[in-house]
A and B are shown apart, each in its own frame.
Chain A
Amino acid sequence: MSDQARIRNFSIIAHIDHGKSTLADRLLEFTGAVAERDMREQLLDTMDIERERGITIKANAVRLDYRAADGNTYILNLIDTPGHVDFSYEVSRSLDACEGALLLVDAAQGVEAQTLANAYLAIENGLEIIPVVNKIDLPSAEPERVSAELLGVVGGSPEDVIQVSAKSGSGIEELLEAIVHRLPPPEGAADAPLRAMVFDSYYDTYRGVICSIRIVDGAIDSGEALRFMATALDDAADEIGVLRPAATPVTRLATGEVGYLISGVKEIDLIRVGDTVTDVDNPASGALAGYQEPKPMVFSGLFPTDGDDFERLREALDKLRLNDSSLVYQPETSRALGFGFRCGFLGLLHMEIVRERLEREYDLDLVATAPSVEYVAHLTDGSTAQIRSPQDLPDTRLLADISEPFVKVMIITPSEYVGTVMELIQQRRGEMGEMTYLTPERVELHYQVPLAEIVFDFFDQLKSRTRGYASMDYEPGEYRRSDLVRVNILLNGVPVDAFSSIVHKERSYRYGRAMVERLRKLIPRQLFDVPVQAAVGSRIIARETIKAQRKDVTAKCYGGDITRKRKLLERQKEGKRRMKMVGQVEVPQEAFISALRIDE
C-alpha cells in the first residue's frame, strides 16, 4: 500500500547537455535502484541513437524508493526529459504528470535558452521548482554567478539553490531531501472514480502498446476493466507495473502514482497520448484535459532509393510512429523519385533521427527531399490552401499571395555578441522584439523570424558567430504574408519536382543558379545536349547545359577475352539500373541524393 503523502513526482528539466540524465544516474544509484555492476552512464538513454549521440530523445520515467532522514520511505517518480528544442513536446507532457521539477543549470554555462523555455513551461503548469546548479566540479564552474542567474528566472533566495555534481555525486543527498520536503505530494482524490492520464506510449512487438500513466484520481487494480475515454475503447488491465527501471508488475497503482499499463491493445491508433483511462464499472464523469497535438514544423519527402521498398517504408513508418506520435506522414508521388511519403517533423534533429532510425532499424536506403515549412497559399478566389510540399503550390495565375510561418525566437547571448546576433537576424529577415538583460553580461533577445530561415543552418551560424556562447529556443508564432516564389528546376524542359523549392524572391536567383550548376556537374552526359534550367513561373532565371556524351567505348576486346568484355559491360549496365528517367534524361539516383544534400 502506498501512502499518497509519501509520493513525489518530478521531472528533471534543463538546457541540452546540462546533465539531466547524469543526475538521474546518481539518483538511481543513491537510492539503490540500480546495482553498482549494472550502472552505466546515462542509464536511462537506452536507444542506440541516444547513446551514440549522447542526447536524450524520449522522456523516461523511473520509480525510486528513498528512505529520507526523517526515517520514512518515499516513492519518487522521476522523469528524465530531453533538452533539445525539437522535443519540447516530451517535456510538456512529462511536466503534466508531475507536481515538481528540478531545473538544472550547468555551473559553467549558466542559464541558456532551453533553461528559460522549460522553466516557463514548469511555471505555467503550476509546478514547484527546485533550482539546481550542476557540474560544480568543473574548474570553470561559477556556481555563485550561475545561481544568481537562476534565481533571476525562478525567484527565491540563494539558499534555495542546490549545488550538485552529477558526476561526483556531491550534493545528491541534499537534493533528495529537498525533493521530499519541498515538493508537494500528489493531490488527487483516492475515493473518486478512476482517472489516469496516458502521458506517453511505447510499442512492444510482443506485448503491444505500453502506456505510461499517471493516476490522477482513484486507483487501478490489475485485471480491472478499463475504458479509454477519447476512443471509447474498453479493455482490461492485463498488467500494471512500475519501472524501477526494469518493468516490475504490481497489483495496484494508487492515486498519485506513475506507472505503466499493458492492456493487450496492438493497434496504436486506438490509444492516444493525452487520453484518460477510467473504470468501466464506475466511470469518471469527465476526462482530464488532454494534450495539444504537437505541430510538425518541417516537412520532407522520404523516398526509398529502391522503388520496391515502398511498402517496407510504409511499415517502418507505421512502427516508428508507435513510439513517436509526433511523426506524421502521407503518401507522396514524385516524378523523379517515385513513390514515397511526405513526412512532418518537429524540427531538423527530429527529421535526422527518424531518417537514421528508418535506415538503421529497418534497413532502408532513403532519399530525403529538401525540408520545407508549411506555407499557406491565398488564392485569387479568396480560398486558402496549406502547402506542405512545393509541388502543391497552385499555378501563379491562381495565386494571390503566400504566407509563411514565423516563429518566436529567444536567444540568450553574452552581451558582447548582441550586434553579431542582430546582424544574423537581419540577414534572415527577422524582426527585433524585446531585449532584456538577465545580468549585465547576459542578454535575452526576442525576435520574430520566418521558420524557413531558421530550420536549416541558423543554429550553426549562431553558434559559430558567438563562439558557441549563444543558445536559442523557438516556438510557433503567426503566419505572415511574404514575397515568396517557387523556383522550378527543369531538365530538358521537364520539371523535376524533387528540386523545386519555395524561396523568398530575393533568394530565388541564388537558389536557381546553385541548383542548375550542381545538377550540371552531377548528371552524366546524355546522348544529346540537355538544358538544365531554373524557372520562376515561365521566366527562366538560370541555365546550364549538359553537353552531349561523346565517348563511351573502350579499347579492343582484351586479346580475345570476349567473356570478360561482356561481363564488364553487364556490370556497368547493372550500375545504371539505379537510374531514373526524367523525360528522356537518365539521372542516377546518386545525382538526386547529392543535389538534395543541404550544404549551403
Chain B
Amino acid sequence: MSDAAATADRAAGQRAAYVHIPFCHRRCPYCDFAVVDLSEQRASIERYVDALIAEIAMEPPWQPLHAVNLGGGTPSILHPADVQRVLDALKARFGFEPGAEISIEANPEDWTDEHAAALRSTGLNRVSLGVQSFDAEVLVALGRAHDPGMGIGAVAASRTAGFDNVNIDLILGTPGESQRSWQETVATAVGLGPDHISAYALTVELGTVLSRQVSAGAPAPLEDDLADKYETLGGSLPARLSHYEVSNWAAPGRECRYNLTTWAQGEYAAFGLGAHGHRSGVRRRNVRRLDVYLETVEDGRRPEAGSEILSSWDREKERVFLGLRRRCGVRGGAVADVLVTSEAGSRFLEAGVIRMEGERLIVARPLLTDAVAREVLALEERPGR
C-alpha cells in the first residue's frame, strides 16, 4: 500500500472536531450552509461563542484530537480572543495530539497582517483562504467582498504570521469566467506557493440565490467548461502538489487531516449551529436556527436535531462512496465485490471510470465520482453473504 493510501486510511481511526461559525458579512449567492447574516445579528457573536464552549463541555470526553477545523460561515470574523476560548475549551475537553492540525477558514478581506498574526498565536496552524478567483469580475459575479489584491495579500499575511500550512480555495466554472481568466487564476495561485489547493466546480444548489438566478435564465455553469477548467488546473499544478482527492491537491504531508477523516468515514465531534458530527457510529446533526441553538445550549441541553445509525451494509456502502473521492480509492470489501460484478459496475469498468488496483477500488475518472457513488449507494446486499 502506498504512503498516501496508508495516511488516508489511517484517518479512519483518528479523532477530529468541527466547529461551525455561522456568521457572515452577507450570504454568497451560491452558498447553502447554515449562515447568519452578521448585519442583523452582530450582538450574538459573543453569546454564540459562550454557547459553543458550553456545548463542548457537554460532549463526553474522547481521545486527543488530530485535527480541528473552524468552518463557516466566516470564522475569520471572530475576535482572536474568542478563537482562543474555543480552542482552549476543545483542548481542555479532549486534548490535542502532538502536531495536530488546527485549521480555520478565512475570507481574504478579514485576513490582515495583524489579524493573521493574532490568530496564529491562538494555536491555529493552518488557514484555508476563500480566495475563489484572482479575476475581479469573477469575484463580483460570485458576490464576494474581496478583490484579487486582497487574495494575494492574504497569502502573504499568512506566511508573515507564521502559517506553514496554507490552502487556497478556488471556484471554477463561474458563468462568465473565460478559460483565460481561469488559467491566470491558476497561475497566480501557483505563484503564491500554497501548501494546498482546493478547487470546487461551482454547483447550483437548490434554494440558493444562484439557483433562482439560473431558473430565471441566468447562465448556468456548463459541463464542458467545468471539465476543461478542471483539466487545465490538473495540468498546471507543480509536481510538488499531488492530487489526493477529487478537488484537492497538497504538498507532501499537507493533506487536510480533517477532510481525510471525513472521507475515511472517521469520527469527528461537531459543535455549533447546524453542525454535523459522527461519533460511535452515529451521525448527529444540530439545529439550524440560531435562537433555538442558543436557548437549548443555555438551558444545559445538547442542541441535537436528529441522528442516524446505519445498518452494517449501509455503513459499508458509505465507507466506499466516501472513500472513492480519494485518488487512492478504498480497500475492497463486500460492497466493492458486488459493484464490480453488477451491470453498472461492468459498464464503469469498461468505460475506464473505475478500476481495481490490487486490493483497492479506484475511480480513474474523478469527475465521474458521483456517478459511481450513486450506483454504490443503490447496491443491494447479496443474500447468503
Interface residues of A (CB under 8 A from B): 525, 527-528, 547, 549-563, 566, 569-570, 572-573, 576, 584
Contacts and interface: CB of A to CB of B under 8 A. Distances in A.
Contacts of B77: none
A569 B371 CA distance: 9
16 contacts: A551-B201, A553-B367, A553-B371, A554-B201, A555-B247, A556-B247, A558-B33, A559-B18, A560-B268, A560-B277, A560-B278, A566-B318, A569-B373, A569-B377, A572-B370, A576-B374
Max chain B Cβ within 10 angstroms of own Cβ: one of A525, A550, A570, A576: A550
B181 interface: no
Given A563-B285, A566-B318, A527 B347 contact: yes
A562 B200 CA distance: 17
A214 B259 CA distance: 84
Contacts of B275: 559-560
Contact of A561 (B246, B276, B351): B276
A570 B377 contact: yes
A552 B33 contact: no
Contacts of B283: 562-563
B318 A562 contact: yes
A529 to B, nearest CB: 10
A350 B227 CA distance: 49
B371 A552 contact: yes
Contacts, number: 98
A553 B370 contact: yes
B316 interface: no
Nearest to B222: A551
Contacts of B366: 553
A551 B230 contact: yes
B330 interface: no
B375 A573 contact: yes
Interface of B: 18, 20, 33, 71, 198, 200-201, 203, 223-224, 226-227, 230, 246-247, 259, 262-263, 268, 270, 275-278, 283, 285, 308, 318, 321-322, 347-348, 351, 353, 366-371, 373-375, 377-378
Contacts of B278: 560, 562
Contact of B270 (A549, A560, A570): A560
Max chain B Cβ within 10 angstroms of own Cβ: one of A552, A553, A556, A570: A553
Given A551-B226, A553-B371, 11 more contacts: A550-B224, A551-B201, A552-B367, A558-B33, A560-B18, A560-B278, A570-B374, A570-B377, A570-B378, A573-B378, A576-B374
Given A557-B322, A559-B33, A573 B377 contact: yes
A153 to B, nearest CB: 56
Contact of B203 (A528, A554, A569, A572): A554
Nearest to A548: B351
A571 B298 CA distance: 37
Contacts of B369: 552-553
Contact of B371 (A549, A555, A558, A560): A549
A566 B278 CA distance: 14
Contacts of A555: 200-201, 203, 247
Contacts of A547: 224
Given A551-B368, A552-B367, A562-B276, A557 B262 contact: yes
Max chain B Cβ within 10 angstroms of own Cβ: one of A527, A559, A566, A584: A559
A547 B351 CA distance: 13
B74 to A, nearest CB: 13
A554 B370 contact: yes
Given A550-B223, A554-B203, A566 B18 contact: no
Contacts of A552: 367-371
Nearest to B363: A553
B1 to A, nearest CB: 24
